[in-house]
Amino acid sequence: MNFLSALVRFENLHEVRRLCHWGPIIALSVIAICSTMAIIDSVIWYWPLDTTAGSINFLMLLNWTVLILYNYFNAMFVGPGYIPLGWKPENPKDTQFLQYCRICQGYKAPRSHHCRKCNRCVMKMDHHCPWINNCCGHLNHAYFTSFLLLAPLGCSHAAFIFVMTMYTQLYERISFGWSTVKIDMSAVRQFQPLMPFSVPAFAATLFALGLALGTTIAVGMLFFIQMKVILRNKTSIESWIEEKAKDRIQHYQTGEEFVFPYDLGSRWLNFKHVFTLSGTPRGNGLEWPVHSKCHQYTLTIEQLKQKADKRVRSQVQYQAVEDYNGACCPLNKGFRTFFRTPCTEEPRIPLSKGETILATRGTKWWMYGDKIVSEEEMRAGVRVRGWFPRRCVEKCHYDTAANESTSDKKVN
C-alpha cells in the first residue's frame, strides 16, 4: 500500500479534468484515429509483420505515438508554472517597476502575465492553448514545441502508409492514368492480405489521410511560429510587446532604442535556454539572464509605459471609413493585412462606415480598441472591443465636448 500511495498523488487527480474539454478531446481523437488506421493499414494490407521492413515500420509507428502522447500529456499536466500567490520582489523598491495583479494579490514577475482562463499569473506566458486546455509557459514550453514537431512527423509517416495502402490495393482495380509512374509491386503480391480492402476500409483510410494531411500542415505552421520566437528567446506575447514598443516610440518620436532584454545574442544559446536534456528549462521563472544593455526590469518598465500610453491613446478617437465584417483573415483588406492578422484568441469587431472607435493599441496593420456604443448599451454594461484592420479607420482630427463626455463614460 505504501508503494502504491507513493506512485499515486491523489491531490493531483483534479488535473484529469483538463481532458474534459473540446480541445483535448479533438486532439486525442485525431491522434488515435491516425495511429490506429496507420497500424491496421500497414499490418493487414501494405507492410505485414513477417517482413523486416514491416516490423521496422510497425515499431516506428508505435514510437511516433508514444513520443507524441508523452510530450502532449507533459505539456498539459506539467503546466507552465505559476507565480506564487501574493508574490513580491525581495527588494521592496523594485515594486515600482512591476504591475500588480488584484486577482492573485501579488506583483507580476518579469515575463509573467495573468491568464483569464487559468485565473493565475503564468511564468513566461506564451499563450493559452485550447488543444492542451492549459497555458504554454516556462515549464512546458519545450514539451509543447516538441509535440508540435513530432505530430507533423508522425502524421506524415501515417499519410505515406495511407497513400501506399490505397495505391497497392486499388492498383489492379482502377486505372489511375499514371502511365509514367512505375512502382515495384512484386513485394506486395508475395502475401495474401488477411481480409479484402473493402469500401468501409477505403473510406476509413481516406478519412484518416485527410486528418493526417490537415494536421501536418496546421501543426507544422504552429511549430515554425513557435521556433521563430524561441530562437529569439521570446514568447508570442513578448513579440507583441516589442511591436507596441516600436509603435509607441515612432508615435511620440522619443528617439529611444528598445532592446529586447532576453535575447542572449545567439540562436543556439536561446534554444538551449528552453530545451534541456532533463526536460526542465533553465531558471526559476522569476529571474532571467538579460542583454548587457538591459536589466531585470527593462521589459516591465516598457509595459508600464505602454499601459500609460494606452490610457492616453484611449482618448484618441478613430472613425471607420471602410466596412469590415469581423473576419479573422479578411481577403478584401489587402495582402499584408490578411497575412499579418494577430495570432490571438481576442475577438475581431465588425465596423460600419461612420462608427467611432477608441483605439488602445495596435500593430502596423491592425488596431485594438473599444467601439463607442449608445447610452442605453453603456448603462447595460455592453462593451464591444477587439481587433480591426488599421486601413478601415482614420484618426479623428477634432475634439468636441460630446466626444470627451463619451470617453469619460467609457466603462473600464
Active-site residue identified among 34, 104, 121, 129:
129
Q: How many Å is the Cα radius of gyration of the chain?
A: 27
Residue type, 202: F
Is 104 annotated in the active site?
A: no
Report the alpha-carbon distance of residue 369 to residue 387 in Å, rounded: 7
SS3 at position 247: helix
80, 145 contact by CB (below 8 A): no
Q: How far apart are CA 330 and CA 388, in angstroms?
A: 10
Burial class (CB in 10 A: 0-12, 13-18, 19+), 310: middle
Other Cβ atoms within 10 Å of 378 Cβ, number = 15
Say if CB 61 and CB 43 are below 8 A apart: no
Q: Which DSSP string corresponds to 345-360?
A: SPPB--B-TT-EEEEE
Question: Are 402 and 364 spatial neighbours (Cβ–Cβ below 8 Å)?
Answer: no
Grid coordinates representing 53 are 521492413
**What are the residue numbers of the active site?**
129
